[in-house]
Amino acid sequence: MSTAAHTITDVRLTPVLVADPPLLNTQGLHQPYTPRLIIEVETADGTTGVGETYGDAKYLDVARPFAAALAGRAISDLNGLFTLADSVAVDAARVDTAVDVGGLRGVQTADKLRLSVVSGFEVACLDALGKTLGLPVHALLGGKVRDSVEYSAYLFYRHAEHPPGVAGERDDWGAALDPAGVVAQARLFAQRYGFTSFKLKGGVFPPEQEIAAIRALAAAFPGRPLRLDPNGAWSVETSLKVAAELGDVLEYLEDPALGTPAMAEVAARTEVPLATNMCVTTFDEIPAAFTTGAVQVVLSDHHYWGGLRNTRELAAVCRTFGIAISMHSNTHLGISLAAMTHVAATVPDLRHACDSHYPWQSEDVLTERLRFEGGHVAVSDAPGLGVELDRDRLDALHRRWLDEDFAPLRERDDAAAMRRLDPEWRTPLVPRW
């Protein structure tokens, strides 16, 4: 490969707003459009690699100077991305002690912000490198150990439509606000995508109602893996009560209580495995969680952890400690689903179906949507990620982002969306129950 084929000559950052349905979580409601950032790196020989990450202003603020510093660097210098990121200043006002609503991943820090940005660039560089070498991304990570990756149906309590007076796209999923609605949604997921494992986003209704929904799912899908994730909304005692009532049907309970000490207390008093994408989101958080037995499954997310190679490093640490690994997701497009699928294909001991919001995203920036068949996404062997940008779609979604009428939606704010339904709504204090 010539040096030119290797050298970054241009980087394009395209923030977009993509349709998001009225999904409920413990913090509120999804807004009708959600921001994402599409990253393209171009090499001297015209090869383009694509990546994707969060698109709120605090990520754009880091991504822009980072992108400006990339020209002239090699697409293969993946380790150098981290050194470069360390030199990008993060405005202290952008990181506070609040839980990050976009990822619901514990306290926001400058490092987490930088890693989330680096992840998108790492994926774009891997895509370009793979195209240049004629190799799929999974080969650059050491090679796939499976031909398809299993995903879980990501069930949400939801309204049929966005609140009155809020413009948004319509879909045909209908409302799911009670056990029957949740089961109907699960049946649609099974019918449309073939999913055989189900995760319910909880922390929305009092635990008794969510217990009833899981019981209804267990009756409708006997023996299928079921998960419940209230995003840390419960006290230790409530978590234990739910674990006791659902222990016979749960594959795992996800972030029942907030923070490692509370999770450790729950874990010490139940046999139900605990999973997290909130208390273990950085390498620094691992020792406390693993040595106290706070979690049994870490839900990795390459956006949080700084990319695909860090995800593999996380998997190795988990393996060392006998902790299982799977994958978290929130609102993402096909570029990230492709990236998730490549890295998941290379992790040998992946024993739980991964999460993906993708079925909720009716819009994408690809010429061809990725498909779930029998709940699986096939691992592409095409060079790079195996996806192609649809420039017209990208432009249209970018124009929406530029449109001043949509400006308030450039920041994800689930509490603001909820106030359209309930003007008194404030992000609930935890534990909520």
Ligand X SMILES: O=C([O-])C(=O)C[C@H](O)[C@@H](O)C(=O)[O-]
Active site amino acids: 201, 328
Binder of ligand X out of 150, 229, 265, 413 (CB under 6 A): 229
According to DSSP, the β-strands at 354-355 and 33-43 are unpaired
Asked whether position 116 contacts ligand X by CB under 6 A, the answer is no
Question: Distance (Å, rounded) from C-alpha 350 to C-alpha 378?
Answer: 15
Binder of ligand X out of 14, 25, 356, 361 (CB under 6 A): 25
Looking only at residues 254 through 273 of this chain, which bind Mg ion when binding is defined by CB under 5 A? 254
According to DSSP, the β-strands at 297-300 and 324-327 are parallel
Q: Min. distance of Cβ 137 from ligand X in angstroms?
A: 23
Question: SS3 sequence, 327-346?
Answer: ECCCCCCHHHHHHHHHHHHH
What is the DSSP annotation of 82-116?
HHHHHTS---GGG--SSB-TTTT-SB--HHHHHHH
DSSP code of 363? -
Q: Which amino acid is it at 33?
A: Y
30 annotated ligand-binding residue = yes
3-state DSSP helix/strand/coil % of the chain, to nearest 5? 40, 20, 40
Binder of Mg ion out of 229, 251, 265, 285 (CB under 5 A): 229
398 annotated ligand-binding residue = no
Asked whether position 231 contacts ligand X by CB under 6 A, the answer is yes
Question: Distance (Å, rounded) from C-alpha 93 to C-alpha 417?
Answer: 23
Joined tokens for residue 429: 């204090």
Residues binding ligand X: number (CB under 6 A) = 11
What Rg, from alpha-carbon coordinates, does the chain have? 21
Q: Residue 251 binds which entry of Mg ion, ligand X, none, with Cβ cut-offs from 5 to 8 Å by kind?
A: none
Q: Min. distance of Cβ 203 from ligand X in angstroms?
A: 8
- Asked whether 6 and 42 are in contact (CB, 8 A), the reply is no
131 annotated ligand-binding residue = no
Looking only at residues 163 through 222 of this chain, which bind ligand X when binding is defined by CB under 6 A? 201
Q: Min. distance of Cβ 202 from Mg ion in angstroms?
A: 10
Binder of ligand X out of 309, 328, 376, 432 (CB under 6 A): 328
Q: Min. distance of Cβ 299 from ligand X in angstroms?
A: 7
109 annotated ligand-binding residue = yes
Question: Taking the CB of residue 48, how many other CB atoms lie within 10 A of it?
Answer: 17
CA angle 395, 389, 355 (to 5 degrees): 105
310 annotated ligand-binding residue = no
Asked whether position 350 contacts ligand X by CB under 6 A, the answer is no
Binder of Mg ion out of 25, 108, 277, 330 (CB under 5 A): 277
Binder of ligand X out of 196, 197, 281, 331 (CB under 6 A): 331
According to DSSP, the β-strands at 24-25 and 48-54 are unpaired
Distances in Å between the Cα of 297 and the Cα atoms of 28, 272, 323, 352 are 26, 11, 6, 9
Q: Residue 150 binds which entry of ligand X, Mg ion, none, with Cβ cut-offs from 5 to 8 Å by kind?
A: none
Q: Min. distance of Cβ 303 from Mg ion in angstroms?
A: 14
Q: Min. distance of Cβ 23 from Mg ion in angstroms?
A: 13
Closest CA to 409 of 83, 16, 132, 69: 16
332 annotated ligand-binding residue = no
In the annotated binding site, the residues are: 30, 109, 154, 199, 229-231, 277, 328-330, 357, 412
Annotated binding site for substrate: 30, 109, 154, 199, 229-231, 277, 328-330, 357, 412
Instruction: List residues near Mg ion by CB under 5 A.
Output: 229, 254, 277
| Footprint of ligand X (CB under 6 A) | 23, 25, 103-104, 201, 229, 231, 277, 328, 330-331
